[in-house]
């Protein structure tokens, strides 16, 4: 193939978007175009320039193709040389710059805590599912670390028998990951991770929005998460009944275990879209692995946000169903009753 035709073929935005995103990511072209525009404006590294010899360097599409293929297919860096003419060291450099650029540009938006509008939407959906006040499900995922240094393997090896790094996440019904805390060694359990994560920092500092909802005739003012049996008995957690006896308890346990799978489904979607987090991590630096994981989560949330179809709010008439509890209401923040 002629050199010019080869460069045009491999750097064509049409082929780039269609080959990778439509088949692997299901990311729409306008989302990718916006991402490429934002990353290029934030990081001059991705702008095509001439090198010292006057030769035209790698294009923006080539650099993004290299980084996204490594994330999507879990390709080793030296494999990018076969179809993109990118050396192994350059591919690793591109991936490092890309993950940091995605973090710096998008983490404030796509890794944010739920806004009042987001929280109201989550509460409305949770109420329809029979769990008023529920804002998501919480769980941890282990990412195997293949190149863990020998001196750290005892610290990072847990019950799985191999060195792993833990990701704690909260996911909602639409697989959006609202909370992500990554980097703790795999020798810890979920309770140890919970004690170190910033999940409840806003509640402890009194900055979290106050919620009011009813279960039966009792009013509650705090949201909660669906969790499995290892988590402690806190007011912020709702676990399944271990040995249900009555039909009501059996039904509650069945529904709780069903909706608790939201976070595991989010983990599955994340691993299906990004093979780099499905297979063992081949990186050496914990900071680089953290940026890779956060980048995959941000891109995952970008796709979820683009594909989300807002549910039409149906009018609520309390006189129509008198026994139905009132909808959850959100206040700006916790108020100090003792002034």
pLDDT digits (tens, 9 = 90+) for 59-82: 888 888 889 889 998 888 888 777
Specify if 101 maps to a domain.
yes
User: In the listed set 85, 110, 135, which residue is the last one of a domain according to the structure?
Assistant: 110
Provide the pLDDT for residue 287: 93
| Encoded tokens for 122 | 């989550």
Cβ-based neighbours of 292, under 8 Å, separated by 6 or more? 71, 95, 99, 276, 277, 281, 283
Residues 190-206: pLDDT tens digits? 999 999 999 888 777 77
Same domain, 149 and 232: yes
User: In the listed set 110, 141, 173, which residue is the last one of a domain according to the structure?
Assistant: 110
Same domain, 95 and 121: no
Same domain, 102 and 123: no
Cα distances (Å, whole numbers) of residue 163 to 76, 184, 193, 285: 20, 11, 16, 14
Same domain, 28 and 56: yes
Same domain, 239 and 151: yes
Residues 228-277: pLDDT tens digits? 989 998 888 999 988 889 999 999 999 999 999 999 999 999 999 999 99
- Give the domain range for residue 273: 116-308+326-330
Q: What is the pTM of this model?
A: 0.83
Specify if 335 maps to a domain.
no
pLDDT at 105 over 90: yes
Tell me, rounded to whole angstroms, the distance of Cα 55 from its chain centroid. 39
Same domain, 77 and 129: no
- Count of the separate structural domains present in the chain: 2
Specify if 317 maps to a domain.
no
- Cα 3 from Cα 22, distance rounded (Å): 27
Coil, helix or strand for 264?
helix
Same domain, 123 and 247: yes
Cβ-based neighbours of 3, under 8 Å, separated by 6 or more? none
> Does residue 262 contact residue 173 with C-beta atoms inside 8 Å?
yes
Residues 143-180: pLDDT tens digits? 999 999 999 999 999 888 899 999 999 999 999 999 99
Same domain, 282 and 133: yes
User: In the listed set 65, 86, 110, which residue is the last one of a domain according to the structure?
Assistant: 110
């Amino acid at each position: 193939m002629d050199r010019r035709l080869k460069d045009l073929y491999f750097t064509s935005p049409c082929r780039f978007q269609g080959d990778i995103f439509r088949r692997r990511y299901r990311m729409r072209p306008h989302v990718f175009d916006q991402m490429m525009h934002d990353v290029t404006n934030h990081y001059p590294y991705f702008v095509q320039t001439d090198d010292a010899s006057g030769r035209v360097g790698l294009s923006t599409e080539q650099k993004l193709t290299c980084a996204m293929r490594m994330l999507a297919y879990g390709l080793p860096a030296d494999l990018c040389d076969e179809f993109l003419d990118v050396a192994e060291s350059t591919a690793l450099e591109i991936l490092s710059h890309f993950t940091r650029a995605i973090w710096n540009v998008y983490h404030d938006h796509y890794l944010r805590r739920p806004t009042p509008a987001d929280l109201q939407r989550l509460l409305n959906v949770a109420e329809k599912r029979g769990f008023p006040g529920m804002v998501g499900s919480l769980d941890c995922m282990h990412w195997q670390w293949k190149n863990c240094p020998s001196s750290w393997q005892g610290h990072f090896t847990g019950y799985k028998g191999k060195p792993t790094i833990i990701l704690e996440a909260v996911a909602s019904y639409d697989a959006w990951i609202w909370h992500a805390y990554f980097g703790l060694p795999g020798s810890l359990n979920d309770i140890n991770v919970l004690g170190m994560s910033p999940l409840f920092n806003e509640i402890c500092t009194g900055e979290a929005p106050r919620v009011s909802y009813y279960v039966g005739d009792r009013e509650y003012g705090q949201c909660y998460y669906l969790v499995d049996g290892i988590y402690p008995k806190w007011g912020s957690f709702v676990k399944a009944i271990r040995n249900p006896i009555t039909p009501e308890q059996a039904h509650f346990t069945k529904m709780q275990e069903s909706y608790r799978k939201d976070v595991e489904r989010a983990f599955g979607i994340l691993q299906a879209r990004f093979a780099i987090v499905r297979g063992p991590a081949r990186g050496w630096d914990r900071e680089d692995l953290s940026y890779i994981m956060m980048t995959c989560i941000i891109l995952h949330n970008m796709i979820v946000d683009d594909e989300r179809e807002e549910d039409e709010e149906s009018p609520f008439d309390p006189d129509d169903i008198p026994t139905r509890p009132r909808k959850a209401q959100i206040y700006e923040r916790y108020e100090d009753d003792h002034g």
